[in-house]
Amino acid sequence: MESDISREFLSQGSVCVTGGSGFVGSHLVEALCRQNLRVRVLMRKTSSRAHLPREVEIIEGDLHDHAALTRAVAGVTTVFHLAAVTRARSTPEYFQANAEGTQRLITAMCAAQPRPRRLVYLSSLAAAGPALPGKPVQLADSPCPITAYGRSKLAGEAFCQQSTQDFEVVMLRAPAVYGPRDRDLFLCFALAMRGVMLVPQGPDRFLQFIHVSDLVDALRLAATAPRASGVYHVAEAQPYTLGEFARWLAHAVGRRVRAIRIPAWGMRMAATASEFGAKTIGRATIFNREKAREILASGWLCETDAAKQDLGFEGQISLPIGLTSTAAWYRDQGWL
């Protein structure tokens, strides 16, 4: 599959990646550069360049900088839009970045001469909302996001849908993404090293995950698959309960991990305290009231058949293998 993707891209010219210095974006940029592609990255001046190959062309700016956006999309054939805010101090912050930022990028793409051929937008399963017990979310289901983050990503999807007359649009909704360099699920690894895992009380909740390497493959396929259009769910097809996640995490870090079941009110109180503490120092935290709503939801499952059929994508890295390799990377970097 790698060689087929490479041949497709090499015939397309330059690509632009927003959010290219982030967790998923840096892996995508490295993969594109390994294929000898001309890669342009839009990134803030203060963002880390540690994982960006030297040959990458960097445009300093953000999604609210029209001049930088104009330079970033000029002359490229494909735009990967990964820049997003996943933790914020308020609802407006989510929408300014994830919705309005997407709209501004699309405006710049529409004004470009020639226009990029395709936009690949990395959305989130949070835009679709949680699944009912035992019933994965289908693409035909009406989205029911339960957080401001999910609503902002859905609004970004809406702006993308409105631009389908101007260029091809492919949107990927991903569940929890993990792998080397990730700092969000790393908190679970750190807790597991201490022998504990916090799990909400109540019935088993089923979730799907996707390893960052698989997500990178899905993004590249979304840029090249001839029939690709609209929204797709991309994930490892196998669902896991939170208890199973805790057991595989324990195996990955080589510790005995005790699952501590927390009542819903306790989870909400802890999230509120975390959020308040972060705000007092002017920061946003990943464990906030929004994250508590997601953890306490009935489950996060989605169908993946459409991505397999139209994109040729199927998750290859199982959660047990992915967690083990990720833990090894954390150890190598001194994080664990």
pLDDT per residue over 287-318, tens digit each? 888 888 888 898 999 999 999 999 999 999 99
Q: pTM of the entire structure?
A: 0.93
Largest Cα–Cα separation, the chain:
58
Q: Please state, in angstroms and rounded to a whole number, the distance separating the CA atoms of residues 68 and 47.
A: 15
Question: Which domains does the chain possess?
Answer: 2-177+209-236+300-316 (3.40.50.720)
Per-residue DSSP letter, 85: -
Token digits of residue 241? 């309960």
Strands 196-200 and 206-207: unpaired
> Measured between alpha carbons, how far apart are the two ends of the chain, in Å?
34
- Which DSSP string do the residues of 154-165 spell out, in sequence order? HHHHHHHHTTTT
pLDDT at position 156:
98
pLDDT per residue over 166-177, tens digit each? 999 999 999 999
- Which DSSP string do the residues of 22-77 spell out, in sequence order? SHHHHHHHHHHHHTT--EEEEE-TTS--TTS-TT-EEEE--TT-HHHHHHHHTT-S
pLDDT per residue over 100-142, tens digit each? 999 999 999 999 989 999 999 999 999 999 998 879 999 999 9
315: exposed, middle or buried (C-beta count within 10 Å: 0-12, 13-18, 19+)?
buried
In whole numbers, what is the pLDDT of the chain averaged over residues?
91
Q: In the structure, what pLDDT confidence band is assigned to residue 199 with cuts at 50, 70 and 90?
A: confident
pLDDT at position 208:
96
Residue 272 has pLDDT above 80, yes or no: yes
